[in-house]
């Protein structure tokens, strides 16, 4: 698939009654940012793309292996087509605290490492080792409980879990929230590499404007459950993004 191939299309997504619908597409290798004041619709938009929240109206379609586009309206259907989602709160909706690092990594992708219903632990461990190197994950052992890891390393395990599913679209909800600077920079490097080398399309909702400025090709601004502006890379500035979030003209900071 070429780097400019359309992977996902969304049409007339209505995030709240009476609001202007949102339409657009994602291409292979793109990194798109989402920004807005808390509770203005950007999270609902991301969840609609992930198949979790049903919008008031509209459709989401993913390109299939046969190069056709298929509608989906559930997260399970989205995941079957390579659309994966990283939750915002890793503690309550991400990790399984009592399980090991290996189990937290491998549960969603068990069919990939199984033959005739028998799990190949060796292959699973090899995959985790590869993503451990890629993301610089630190843990005492694969069998250690994930709760023994730092918050940043827990987040890396969750990202590795998504990568084990061999995604084509990654929907990331505030992926560096609550992690240290070194982990944040490692994530930025990984996101760029995944887009550039793997052709994965990434949509990143971030509460950190500086993060969007650093890694995103465009940023969509949401206000009152509408997408009010899309700012391209060359026009992105801190002041312009903040002004758009408040529905104002750009001001000097």
Q: Do 16 and 73 fall into the same domain?
A: yes
Q: Do 110 and 228 fall into the same domain?
A: no
- Residue 215 lies inside a defined structural domain of this protein: yes
* CATH number of the CATH domain containing 252: 3.40.50.300
Q: At which of 109, 137, 166 does a domain end?
A: 166
The residues near 7 (Cβ < 8 Å, ≥ 6 apart) are 1, 26, 27, 28, 62, 63, 168, 169, 201
Q: Do 78 and 179 fall into the same domain?
A: yes
pTM comes to 0.92
Sign for the CA dihedral angle at 84, 20, 206, 178 comes to negative
Distance CA 86, CA 23 (A): 22
Q: Do 68 and 41 fall into the same domain?
A: yes
Distance CA 228, CA 226 (A): 6
- Residue 90 lies inside a defined structural domain of this protein: no
Task: Give Cα 21 distance to the centre of its chain.
Answer: 22
User: What is the tens place of the pLDDT at every residue in 145-160?
Assistant: 999 999 999 999 999 9
Q: Which structural domain range is residue 54 located in?
A: 1-82+168-253
Count how many domains the chain has.
2
- Residue 87 lies inside a defined structural domain of this protein: no
Question: Is residue 55 pLDDT above 90, yes or no?
Answer: no
- Decide: residue 50, CB within 10 A, 0-12 exposed, 13-18 middle, 19+ buried: buried
Q: Do 63 and 4 fall into the same domain?
A: yes
Q: Do 1 and 71 fall into the same domain?
A: yes
- Residue 89 lies inside a defined structural domain of this protein: no
Q: Do 131 and 188 fall into the same domain?
A: no
Q: At which of 166, 186, 219 does a domain end?
A: 166
Distance CA 51, CA 85 (A): 9
Report the half-sphere exposure of 185 (CA within 13 A, side-chain side).
Answer: 3
Q: Do 162 and 192 fall into the same domain?
A: no
CB 134 within 8 A of CB 190: yes
Q: Do 41 and 145 fall into the same domain?
A: no
- pLDDT band of residue 53 (cuts 50, 70, 90) is confident
- For residue 241, give the 3-state DSSP assignment: helix
Q: At which of 166, 195, 226 does a domain end?
A: 166
User: What is the tens place of the pLDDT at every residue in 128-181?
Assistant: 999 999 999 999 999 999 999 999 999 999 999 999 999 999 999 999 998 999
């Amino acid at each position: 698939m070429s780097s400019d191939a359309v992977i996902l299309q969304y049409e007339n997504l209505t995030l709240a009654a009476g609001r202007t619908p949102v339409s657009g597409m994602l291409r292979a290798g793109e990194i798109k940012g989402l920004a807005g004041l808390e509770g203005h619709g950007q999270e609902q938009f991301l969840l609609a793309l992930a198949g979790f929240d049903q919008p008031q109206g509209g459709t989401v379609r993913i390109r299939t292996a046969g190069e056709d586009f298929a509608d989906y309206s559930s997260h399970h259907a989205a995941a079957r087509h390579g659309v994966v989602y990283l939750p915002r709160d890793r503690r309550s909706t991400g990790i399984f605290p009592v399980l090991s690092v290996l189990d937290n990594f491998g549960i969603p992708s068990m069919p990939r490492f199984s033959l005739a219903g028998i799990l190949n632990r060796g292959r699973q461990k090899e995959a985790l080792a590869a993503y451990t190197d890629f993301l610089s994950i630190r843990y005492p052992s694969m069998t250690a409980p994930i709760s023994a890891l730092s918050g940043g390393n827990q987040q890396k395990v969750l990202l590795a879990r998504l990568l084990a599913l061999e995604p084509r679209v990654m929907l990331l909800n505030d992926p560096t929230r609550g992690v240290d600077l070194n982990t944040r920079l490692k994530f930025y490097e990984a996101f760029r590499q995944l887009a550039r080398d793997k052709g994965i399309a990434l949509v990143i909702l971030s509460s950190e404007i500086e993060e969007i400025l650093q890694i995103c090709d465009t940023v969509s601004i949401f206000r009152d459950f509408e997408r009010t502006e899309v700012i391209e890379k060359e026009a992105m500035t801190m002041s312009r993004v903040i002004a758009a979030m408040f529905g104002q003209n750009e001001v000097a900071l």
